[in-house]
Amino acid sequence: MTDDSRALFDRLGGTAAVAAIVQEMYARVLDDPELAPFFENASMDRLQTMQFHFLASAFDGPAEYSGADLTRIHAGRGITAVHFAKFCGHFADAMEDHGASKRDVDDALGRLALYKDKITGDANVDG
């Protein structure tokens, strides 16, 4: 089995590596003056756990995301496409710092982009 045939979750290093990427990504996000206010009252342990499970599911890992509806939990928070892009940029930087290949970073960002409208509230609710 080649690296290209393995699930993205495994190519990123599996459970320990994805958890470490999530932890580093949130450290970067909390240091970002534009993004930190979104997380002022959040339980970071809970948020990181939920994010890990979401990413594991999105990246074909062993977990299935069964958390809250993304549109509902992000509604009314004022998250824009610019905020989403910055968040994804911090995630990409964390992945690269943990040795992810350019291809895997691009693959991950492409998968996250599928959720942008739900996070920013730009989703077409009429179908």
Residue 96 has a pLDDT of: 97
Task: Give the pLDDT confidence of 22-75 residue by residue, as tens digits.
Answer: 999 999 999 999 999 999 989 999 999 989 999 999 999 987 666 568 888 888
Q: Buried b / exposed e across 21-47, counting CB within 10 Å, b at 16+? A: bbebbbebbbebeebeebeeeeeeeee
Q: How far apart are CA 105 and CA 95, in angstroms?
A: 7
Helix-strand-coil split of the chain, %, nearest 5: 65, 0, 35
pTM, to two decimals = 0.87
Instruction: Compute the average pLDDT of residues 7-23.
Output: 96
